[in-house]
Amino acid sequence: MRIFDDSRLQQANKEHQSDIDFSLAMQKAFWDELKGFILRKTTRLLPFDEVKDKLEIWFVQDLGTKTVIVDSIVGSEGRYRSFTRRFLPLQEDLRNRWKKVDQAHYARRDLPPVELYKVQDAYFVKDGHHRISVARAKGVKNIEARVYEYECDVPLDKETDLEKLGIQEAYHQFLKDTQLNKNRPHPGLQLTLLGGYPILMEHIQAHKYYLENKKGEDVSMSEAACSWYDNVYIPLATVIRKNRIMKYFPHRTETDFYLWVIKNRGKLSDQYVLNEESDSMVEAYARKYGGLFRKIIGAYRRFFGLVRYR
């Protein structure tokens, strides 16, 4: 006669292990939150509704079932406060549901695909938060998902956080005001700091004024933006690319550098005549700000939020 029921013992062991797994996941979530606080970097998921409102995205199509890289899932439709950016659980009331999914993982039972929204290269959870959380805890790299795609005119990816979302909101508004994305598809005017797009708009407004004086007639904002892009931005961007300057600034973009160079030149009117001096000016600026000491100072200033365009 058996004293213990093996099946009940195995079930108890599984439940105990799942309790341990959940508690470890919550501990990791705590350390993630603490690290984020120290480094001044948010560890929270992006709210999908906020992304929809800020970037004015719209539904395009149902892509069916796809294999999605788990690391590319950056937000949630309704549970963004319940999990960290790595989908670690933040609330004790998630335990029972989380444990059931964890036990299914141990039993190797097939679970239905999660449901995700796709926006550019970033994904947001519609349904299946606990399944994704357990998958992340187990080190799973890919997950089956029913994917619904949304159209967006600015880039999003796994690196997008709330700060970058604010920058992308400004970029979206800039493209909307200038119509550049329609007249010059994929203009590539990405900035890494807030405050840059109003300065670009000032450049375009100044160029608009210059064109109107030259032509003696009104010029639309979209026409001025195209002229600025073709005759001001692209020539300087070409010099930047030719000199391979951005290798000195791996965390910045070509458009960041454009703004810094224009500011360094001192006079906005100089942008209307780009000559051979542009090469030496860009090279000199890179030598000045591309050294090891400047990189260290730059990292310090970025950490404490001291980097500004103006």
Going along the chain from its start, the domains and CATH numbers come out as 6-151 (3.90.1530.10), 162-303 (no CATH)
Residue 18: the pLDDT is 87
Residue type at 236?
L
* H or E segment to which residue 190 belongs: none
Evaluate if residue 307 carries a pLDDT over 50.
no
Q: How far is CA 14 from the centre of its chain?
A: 38
Per DSSP, the three-state class of 7 is: helix
* pLDDT tens, residue by residue, 227-247: 999 999 998 888 888 878 787
Paired with 76 in beta bridges are 47, 125
Residue for token digits 């030259």?
214
Backbone angles phi and psi of 73, in degrees to 5: -85, 115
> How many CA within 13 A on the CB side of residue 34?
6
- Distance of alpha carbon 49 from alpha carbon 76, whole angstroms: 9
What's the whole-number mean pLDDT along residues 244-273? 71
Highest mean pLDDT among 4-8, 105-109, 266-270: 105-109
C-alpha span between 278 and 274 (Å, rounded): 6
Render pLDDT for 10-21 as a digit per residue (tens, 0 to 9): 555 556 788 899
- Lowest average pLDDT, out of 1-5, 89-93, 206-210, goes to 1-5
Lowest mean pLDDT of 192-196, 202-206, 222-226, 238-242, name the range.
238-242
Percentage of residues in the chain having pLDDT higher than 70:
80
Q: What is the mean pLDDT of residues 87-103?
A: 93
